[in-house]
Amino acid sequence: DAGVIQSPRHEVTEMGQEVTLRCKPISGHNSLFWYRQTMMRGLELLIYFNNNVPIDDSGMPEDRFSAKMPNASFSTLKIQPSEPRDSAVYFCASSSDTVITGELFFGEGSRLTVL
């Protein structure tokens, strides 16, 4: 298995543009997470899906951010319109267990730069 696959790996865009980040979790995993990594805040949980259903989106910064999981093998994180403060590395992770004791498997991340 190639692990969690994210695309694009790098994205440079201008303020106001729409950004869509994509994630393919490990086959058979039923939980999917989107995290944002910045120097100032470290790793922040944005949203968490279980069996394709959003369970907790309390970490989503504002209405400009939205996430979907139309099926078990694909998820998107969209930012519209993007702003310079959204610049960060966005990680997708999946798990086959409840995270109480289980392990999260991370993708390589999508580095977003908003000019």
Partner 1 sequence: AQRVTQPEKLLSVFKGAPVELKCNYSYSGSPELFWYVQYSRQRLQLLLRHISRESIKGFTADLNKGETSFHLKKPFAQEEDSAMYYCALSFRYTGANSKLTFGKGITLSVRP
Per CB under 8 A, the list member of 25, 33, 60, 112 interacting with partner 1 is: 33
Min dist. Cβ of residue 53 to partner 1 (A): 11
The continuous run of DSSP H or E covering 81 comes out as none
Residue among 48 and 82 whose Cβ is closer to partner 1: 48
- C-alpha dihedral over 33, 63, 39, 25, to 10 degrees? 20
| Helix, coil or strand: residue 89 | strand
Residue among 41 and 71 whose Cβ is closer to partner 1: 41
Site for partner 1 in 60-89 (CB under 8 A): none
Per CB under 8 A, the list member of 20, 30, 50, 113 interacting with partner 1 is: 50
Per CB under 8 A, the list member of 57, 96, 104, 111 interacting with partner 1 is: 104
**Residue 48 · residue 31 · CB < 8 Å:** yes
Give the tokens for residue 101.
Answer: 């004791």
The continuous run of DSSP H or E covering 76 comes out as strand 74-79
- The residue count for binding partner 1 (CB under 8 A) is 26
CA dist., res. 88 & res. 112, Å (int): 5
User: Under the rule (CB under 8 A), what is the footprint of partner 1?
Assistant: 3-4, 33, 35, 41-45, 48, 50, 55-56, 91, 93, 98-101, 103-109
